[in-house]
């Protein structure tokens, strides 16, 4: 049978889409929501206005940067689940520099971003060094460093960096607003376009970062060695590559990306330090990285797709659809599961062979009849 | 549920096509009661595909399988199991941190037949009667004379013992017909002899097909032989009627002879000098103790020994992958002690490692990237740390041609190549770097004769160019064919060094076993 592989691939994907929609419909029906309306809000509402679309882009920005950073670590053989902590330390460093560095204007903005990167890099390097020197599992250390970072940041927000205006009150702890010359400008401020283009310039930072990391990993000798060390540490050692050195370097680069993502989020969206400002991107970035095939350029569409769903789900309540906002987690989990399954099914020649036999047997019977 | 004995297995006109390739083309074979059929052929000749068809992993595009003269169709491996066909794969499928009994119990449940009713099924799913499994194992191993300790953990067992566990496992599942895929490829010569003896005994009750490209064991074990070449059956007949040379010629399509070191060129100055070397093994024991060795330029020194006598530790110490306890290592007058692998590579050390699939190459990276693994930081492959793809591509095309690396493209993952081609990639990289010295560990283990011939020729050519070579092997034929001098390693020390003329298979065999006065 000709082109069986093509039909098979299309068939599997179609089946997966149908399956996802079916399961989601079931959940929605149980919750008492209108299925079609819900899907419309999740998948189409983000594109209805420029303002909504800008919201998607603003979510996509940190997701892309974190995702790219996670790719670097993964490709180098380290599972960095410390993105959240590296974001927090990065943005904390950025905020401190912005508040006390005394440099304003474009130079200050660039320097703040760099300081944020340095903070993330430092925080990322620690688990890297622990693994390289003492063989400490990065799964353990990065998670622990997340706790430390989060609590440290929380302390800083409540004590040294606390905005005097909310001190003593019952409001959420936060810092004072950063000087507005340090904010990432909005797209409509940079270019004479419709006011609806409200997303901040961080998206350009993200796209540039993805390209830089791609070039770094695939066009430089350091990237080559990191990929070799990640793919097979024994072969890399045999080839004269100092595996532990490149392991630490990978964590530095990965941490720098996460630190940058945190700082961009502050300078682009919040304009001050406050609680929960990482938005969980340190974790969802891991999913985005995997979803993007662990390739820096694959992360871009993956992050976009996730941002659409994320924005759509968060818009459910505004649209008066009676679905709890944490539905997003259920839906995202469902989508990921199905995509992973589809990838596996498509890439297994054994399953394909079996399917082909079944189909041919069925067709053969028809012909015989 | 025990399947009835298999008195005959016949396949007729089996054809299996894959995209762009016909893996098996119109193959017919038959195996009768107590037959041992050797299925030989070079890598890629279609042996494994054919066996996978017999195991129900693939279905043939054309052709039929008959068991006891009844046609059968296998849709999955469990169908093949059900009629009593069992296969021992080249890579053992055992869980290292479970015991032998637990490993065998893992596969038992599904094979004890369909339980009636849900409750019964549920009970059976929950119950783990390890004692019964253990009794079963003991009974089987006594019956066939397969010594296996049911309570040992897999990680404690040697490769040969693990293979026996695989055999017992297959027999416990009720196999009446054994398929063995290159059963000796990872075994030492002693273990190989034991296995051959064992299989000969087992063949009184069972029929066996075994895949091999070692002609000595084909001759020793089989009574029938079938030769595949390029997916076609080129020959079948009785083993006794044909010499090894005939079979080799049929297998490769041309006369094969492994090259022999006949050069009388006198070796040059000492190149690698090892003095009083002490190296620890993985378990902290002294794997190499007070070892002395000299290899001169333009000389191949064969290091003969049963594996596990310190060969790996020595090779790793010489290449900087393992730190040494004490001693002196000099390459061309420069001390290598305390130097990193990178620095030792820069000194002109080449290394063809034992585990070519995981150490010699990065399996998931492309062939062209693997070819420059050691040289990525130097021109022309990179300038100012920016990689030049054009130079890498050109190098790969050159190497592919010069070393006859058979691949669809140099951009495919190196791990997808056959063993022989992986070894060619490694050799291409090591030789093209123009080393002063080369350490080759088991360079032709598991390779077919064509590839072995090619690799031996390359090593001899390198020697004639004045490179010093340390050839570590346990194949005496390989050592005797290539070496100028032969050192026998026993328990981490050189027992004795023999000139090429004084060494014989028998002498070496005894020295490898630890006999001192010969």
Are residues A84 and A193 both part of a single domain? Answer: yes
- B325 to chain A, closest Cα gap in Å: 20
Q: Does any domain span residue A39?
A: no
Rounded to a whole number of angstroms, the distance from the CA of B84 to the nearest CA of chain A is 22
Give yes or no: residues A288 and A256 share one domain: yes
Query: Contact A221/B360, CB-based, under 8 Å?
Result: no
List CB contacts (< 8 A) between B319 and chain A: 238
Same domain, A236 and A277: yes
A350/B contact by beta carbon, under 8 A: yes
Q: Is A269 found in the same domain as A165? A: yes
Task: Locate the domains of chain B by residue range.
Answer: 1-84+175-256, 93-173, 270-348+435-512
Interface of B with A in 173-212 (CB under 8 A): none
- A295 with A332, same domain: the answer is no
A158-187 per-position pLDDT tens digit:
888 888 887 776 678 889 999 989 999 999
Q: How far is CA B512 from the centre of its chain?
A: 21
Q: Pick from A224, A231, A240: which is nearest to B387 by CB?
A: A224
Task: Classify residue A263: in a domain, yes or no.
Answer: yes
Shared domain for A314 and A338, answered yes or no, is no
Rounded CA-CA distance B308/B371 in Å is 30
Contact between A49 and A234 (Cβ < 8 Å): no
Residue B5 tokens read as 């004995």
Rounded average pLDDT over A250-276:
94
The rounded distance, in Å, linking the Cα atoms of B360 and B236 is 37
CA distance B374 to chain A (A): 5
Q: Report the residue from B319, B321, B387 with minimal CB separation from A221.
A: B387
Q: Is the peptide bond before A309 cis (omega within 30 degrees of 0)?
A: no
- Return d(Cα A132, Cα A233) in angstroms, integer: 12
A131-152 pLDDT, tens digit each: 999 989 999 999 999 999 999 9
pLDDT level of residue A361 (50, 70, 90 thresholds): confident
Task: Provide the pLDDT confidence category of residue A325 given band limits of 50, 70 and 90.
Answer: low
pLDDT for B2 = 56
Q: Report whether pLDDT(A343) > 50.
A: yes
Q: What is the pLDDT of residue A253?
A: 97
Question: Which one of B58, B341, B362 has the shortest CB-CB distance to A228?
Answer: B362
Is A219–B387 a contact, with Cβ atoms under 8 angstroms apart?
yes
For A95, A157, A161, A276, the CA distances from A167, given in Å and listed in that order, are 18, 11, 10, 19
Alpha-carbon torsion (B244, B246, B247, B249), positive or negative: positive
Which residue of A235, A350, A354 is in closest CB contact with B360?
A: A235
Fold of B270-348+435-512: Rossmann fold (3.40.50)
CB contact under 8 A, B365 and A234: no
Q: Please indicate whether, in this complex, the C-beta atoms of B386 and A219 are within 8 angstroms of each other.
A: yes
Contact A238 B360 (CB under 8 A): yes
Residue B413 forms contact with A (CB below 8 Å): no
Residues A159 and A172 in one domain: yes
ipTM above 0.85, yes or no: no
Q: What is residue B73's predicted lDDT score, i.e. its pLDDT?
A: 87
User: In chain A, which residue's Cα lies nearest the Cα of B356?
Assistant: A235
Percent of chain A with pLDDT over 70: 96
Q: What angle, rounded to 10 degrees, do the helices at B159-172 and B130-144 form?
A: 110
* CA–CA distances in Å: residue B390 to residues B362, B366, B397: 21, 15, 11
What is the mean pLDDT for each group of 10 consecutive residues in chain B (518 residues)? 73 82 86 87 80 86 88 85 84 85 77 56 68 86 84 82 87 86 76 84 87 82 87 85 80 73 78 94 87 93 88 94 93 93 94 90 93 90 91 94 88 86 93 93 84 90 93 88 92 88 84 76
Is A43 among the domain residues?
Answer: no
| Backbone φ and ψ of A161, nearest 5° | -100, 5
By CB neighbour count within 10 A (0-12 exposed, 13-18 middle, 19+ buried), where does B231 fall?
buried
Domain B1-84+175-256 has CATH 3.40.50.300: yes
pLDDT of residue A248: 96
- Tokens of residue A90, six digits: 């990065």
Biggest CA-to-CA distance, chain A? 85
Confidence of residue A24 (pLDDT cuts 50, 70, 90): confident
- Separation of alpha carbons B452 and A343, rounded Å: 39
Q: Which residues contact A158 (CB under 8 A, 6 or more apart)?
A: A173
- On whether any CB of chain B is under 8 Å from the CB of A227, the answer is yes
Of residues B281 and A4, more confidently modeled: B281
Note the pLDDT of residue B1: 45
Whether pLDDT at A360 is above 80: no
pLDDT at B109: 58
Do residues B452 and B256 make contact, with C-beta atoms less than 8 angstroms apart?
no
Does residue A145 share a domain with residue A28? no
Q: What is the pTM of this model?
A: 0.79
Domains of chain A: total = 2
Residues contacting residue A342 through CB under 8 Å, at least 6 positions apart: A12, A13, A16
List pLDDT tens digits, range A78-111. Answer: 999 999 999 999 999 999 999 998 888 899 999 9
Q: Is residue A344 part of a domain?
A: yes
A223 with A303, same domain: the answer is yes
Mean pLDDT check: name the lowest of A248-262, A353-367, B47-61, B372-386.
Answer: A353-367
DSSP state of B169: H
Beta carbons within 8 Å of A106's beta carbon, 6+ residues apart = A181
Q: Are residues A334 and A316 in the same domain?
A: no
Using a CB-CB cut-off of 8 Å, the residues of chain B touching A364 are none
Domain that holds residue A127: 52-321
B347 CA: distance to closest CA in chain A (Å): 12
User: Is A220 in the B-facing interface, judged by CB distances under 8 Å?
Assistant: yes
Among partner residues B59, B365, B374, which is closest to A227 by beta-carbon distance? B365
Does residue A284 fall inside a structural domain? yes
Taking CA atoms, what residue in B is nearest to A227? B365
The residue of chain A nearest to residue B343, with distances taken between CA atoms, is: A240
Average pLDDT, whole number, for chain A?
88
pLDDT at B111: 46
For residues A7 and A72, state if they share a domain: no
- The Cα B61–Cα B78 span in angstroms is 20
Rounded-to-integer distance, Cα B247 and Cα B253, Å: 10
B1-84+175-256 and B270-348+435-512, same CATH topology? yes
How far is CA B132 from each of CA A151, B120, B139, B153, rounded to the nearest angstrom?
55, 18, 11, 18
The answer to whether residue B509 neighbours chain A at the CB level (below 8 Å) is: no
Average pLDDT over residues A238-255: 95
A366 pLDDT higher than 70: no
Q: Report DSSP letters for B138-150, one per residue.
A: HHHHHHHT----T
- Please tell me the distance from the alpha carbon of residue B428 to that of residue B420, in angstroms, as a whole number: 12
Q: Is the pLDDT of residue A358 over 90?
A: no
Same-domain check for residues A232 and A314: yes
């Amino acid at each position: 049978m000709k082109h069986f592989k093509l039909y098979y691939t299309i068939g599997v994907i179609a089946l997966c889409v149908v399956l996802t929609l079916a399961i989601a419909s079931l959940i929605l029906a149980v919750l008492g929501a209108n299925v079609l309306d819900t899907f419309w809000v999740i998948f189409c509402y983000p594109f209805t206005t420029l303002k909504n679309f800008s919201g998607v882009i603003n979510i996509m920005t940190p997701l892309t940067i974190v995702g790219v950073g996670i790719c670097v670590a993964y490709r180098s053989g380290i599972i960095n689940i410390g993105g959240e902590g590296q974001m927090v330390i990065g943005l904390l460093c950025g905020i401190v520099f912005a508040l006390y560095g005394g440099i304003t204007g474009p130079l200050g903005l660039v320097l703040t971003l760099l300081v944020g990167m340095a903070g993330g890099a430092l925080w990322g390097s620690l688990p890297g060094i622990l693994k390289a020197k003492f063989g400490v599992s990065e799964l353990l250390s990065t998670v622990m460093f997340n706790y430390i970072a989060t609590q440290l940041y929380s302390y800083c927000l409540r004590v040294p960096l606390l905005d005097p205006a909310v001190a003593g009150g019952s409001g959420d702890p936060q810092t004072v607003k950063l000087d507005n010359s340090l904010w990432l400008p909005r797209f409509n401020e940079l270019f004479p376009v419709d006011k609806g283009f409200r997303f901040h310039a961080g998206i350009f930072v993200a796209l540039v970062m993805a390209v830089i990391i791609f070039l770094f990993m695939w066009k430089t000798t350091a990237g080559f060695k990191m990929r070799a060390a990640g793919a097979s540490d024994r072969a890399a050692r045999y080839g004269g590559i100092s595996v532990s050195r490149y392991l630490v370097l990978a964590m530095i680069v990965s941490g720098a990306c996460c630190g940058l993502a945190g700082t961009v989020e502050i300078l682009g969206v919040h304009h001050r330090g406050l609680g929960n400002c990482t938005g969980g991107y340190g974790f969802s970035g891991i999913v985005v990285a995997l979803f993007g095939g662990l390739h820096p350029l694959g992360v871009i569409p993956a992050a976009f797709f996730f941002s659409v769903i994320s924005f759509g789900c968060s818009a459910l309540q505004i649209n008066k659809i009676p679905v709890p906002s944490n539905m997003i987690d259920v839906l995202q989990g469902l989508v990921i599961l199905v995509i992973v399954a589809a990838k596996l099914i498509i890439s297994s020649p054994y399953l394909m062979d079996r399917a082909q036999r079944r189909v041919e047997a069925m067709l053969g019977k028809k012909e015989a009849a | 549920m025990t399947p009835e004995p298999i008195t005959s297995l016949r396949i007729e006109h089996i054809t299996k096509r894959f995209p762009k390739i016909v893996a098996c083309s119109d193959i017919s074979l038959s195996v009768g009661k107590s037959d041992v059929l050797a299925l030989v052929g070079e890598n890629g000749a279609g042996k494994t595909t054919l066996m996978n068809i017999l195991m129900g992993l693939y279905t043939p595009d054309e052709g039929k399988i008959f068991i006891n003269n009844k046609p059968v169709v296998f849709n999955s491996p469990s169908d093949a199991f059900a009629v009593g066909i069992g296969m021992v794969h080249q890579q053992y499928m055992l869980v290292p941190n479970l015991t032998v009994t637990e490993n065998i119990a893992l596969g038992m449940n599904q094979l004890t037949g369909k339980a009636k009713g849900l409750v019964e099924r549920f009970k059976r799913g929950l119950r783990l009667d390890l004692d019964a499994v253990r009794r079963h194992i003991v009974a089987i191993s006594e019956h066939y004379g397969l010594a296996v300790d049911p309570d040992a953990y897999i990680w404690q067992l040697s490769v040969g013992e693990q293979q026996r566990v695989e055999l017992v496992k297959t027999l416990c599942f009720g196999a009446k017909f054994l398929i063995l895929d290159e059963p000796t490829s990872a075994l030492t010569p002693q273990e190989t002899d034991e296995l051959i003896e064992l299989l000969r005994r087992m063949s009184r009750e069972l029929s066996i097909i075994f895949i091999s490209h070692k002609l000595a064991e084909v001759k020793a074990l089989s009574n029938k032989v079938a030769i595949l070449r390029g997916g076609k059956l080129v020959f079948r007949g009785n083993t006794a009627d044909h010499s090894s040379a005939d079979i080799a010629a049929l297998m490769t399509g041309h006369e094969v002879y492994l090259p022999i070191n006949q050069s009388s060129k006198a070796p040059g100055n000492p190149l690698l000098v090892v003095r009083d070397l002490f190296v620890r093994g993985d378990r902290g024991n002294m794997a190499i103790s007070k070892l002395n060795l000299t290899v001169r330029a333009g000389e191949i020194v064969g290091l003969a020994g049963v594996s596990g006598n310190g060969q790996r530790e020595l090779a790793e110490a010489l290449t900087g992958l393992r730190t040494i306890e004490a001693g002196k290592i000099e390459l061309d007058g420069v001390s290598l002690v305390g130097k990193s692998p990178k620095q030792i590579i820069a000194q002109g050390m080449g290394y063809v490692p034992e585990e070519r699939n995981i150490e010699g190459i990065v399996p998931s990276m492309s062939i062209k990237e693997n070819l420059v693994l050691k040289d990525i930081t130097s021109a022309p492959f990179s300038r100012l740390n920016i990689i030049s793809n054009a130079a890498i591509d050109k190098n790969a095309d050159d190497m592919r041609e010069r070393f006859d690396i058979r691949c669809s493209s140099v951009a495919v993952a190196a791990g997808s190549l056959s063993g022989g081609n992986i070894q060619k990639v490694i050799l291409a990289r090591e030789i093209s770097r123009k080393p002063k010295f080369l350490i080759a560990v088991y360079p032709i283990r598991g390779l077919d004769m064509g590839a072995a011939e090619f690799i031996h020729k390359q090593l001899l050519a390198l020697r004639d160019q004045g490179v010093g070579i340390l050839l570590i092997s346990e194949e005496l034929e390989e050592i005797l064919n290539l070496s100028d001098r032969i050192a026998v390693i026993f328990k981490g020390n050189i027992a004795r060094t023999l000139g090429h003329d004084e060494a014989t298979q028998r002498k070496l065999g005894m020295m490898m076993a630890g006999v001192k006065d010969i």
